Amino acid sequence: MLCEHYKDALIEAAASGAAPQGELREHLAECFPCREAFMEEQSLFAGIDSGLQTAANSEVPPSLFSRVCVVLEQETSRQAGWFSDALVLATAAAIVLTIFGAHAIRRTKDGRERTNIAVKTVVPPTTPHLKQETIQSPDPSANSSPSTRSLITRSSAAVRRGDTLGALPQVLVPRDQDALLASYAEQWYGHKHAPLVATHVANATLEPLQVSPIQISQLDVKPLAGEGSQ
């Protein structure tokens, strides 16, 4: 029987650390070279285990704990510092937001008060009447002429403009100029909604506009006085 046959079994037995059993045990008893090889193999594994123990159980340097404690202390203070910094920043941000929020609310309130004044003065008294009239007509396009229809359409547009008056751009003016602006707005609005007034005279025929020619007097050209003109 070849000893090569026992090679793997021999290595397995040496690796497991257990005593050889059965056929291997009998072979080792009668084969000196295999017994010697088995002992050397056991010696190799013993050397490996010893080397592993040496590698794995190295002495821990006493400086490790002091180093780690210092690092942990730094980390703790860094974390605490970060937390307090974050707290301070959050507080500052909250204060700033509160100030800006309060300021914005106050501005909005002031703006509303001013707008209310402006709207009260700007809205012409004819608007509700027009709106009511437009709504009351069941079908304006059914029993009216084209001119009337266009007037009604424009009236509706005007009414819509009146509804969305609050969405118009707001102008902030000093308090002492409120009345002045209001009167100006009233004049402007009255002029702008002049066609609305025409809804009352829807059937009236419109005359072509007569414009008289511009009269320009004869120009009197005179030479400039002084020597520089020459």
Partner 1 sequence: MREAAQADARREFEERLAECGPLAFRVAHGVLHNTADAEDVAQEALLRAYKSFERLRDRNRFAGWLVRISFRLALDRLRSAKRRERRDALWSQPAHLPPPATAEDVAASNQFQGHLERALEELPDKLRLVLLLSAMDGYSIEEIAGMIGVPLGTVKSRIFIGRKKLAEKLRCYANTIRTR
Distance CA 122, CA 173 (A): 14
Among 22, 30, 53, 223, interactor with partner 1 by CB under 8 A? 53
Fill in the amino acid letter for 67: R
41 makes contact with partner 1 (CB under 8 A): yes
Give the binding range for partner 1 (CB under 8 A) out of 65-73, 155-163, 166-174, 191-199.
65-73
214 makes contact with partner 1 (CB under 8 A): no
Pick from 13, 16, 10, 14: nearest CA to 34: 10
- What is the total count of residues that contact partner 1 (CB under 8 A)? 44
Site residues (CB under 8 A) for partner 1, limited to 6-25: 7, 10-11, 14-16
185: Cβ contacts below 8 Å, ≥ 6 apart: 118, 121, 122
Among 23, 26, 75, 85, interactor with partner 1 by CB under 8 A? 75
Nearer to partner 1, 35 or 161 (CB): 35
40 makes contact with partner 1 (CB under 8 A): yes
Report whether 196 contacts 158 (CB < 8 A): yes
Distance CA 156, CA 5 (A): 110
148: Cβ contacts below 8 Å, ≥ 6 apart: 140, 202, 203
Residues near partner 1 (CB under 8 A) are 2-4, 7, 10-11, 14-16, 33, 37, 40-41, 43-58, 60-61, 63-65, 67-69, 71-72, 75-76, 79-80, 83
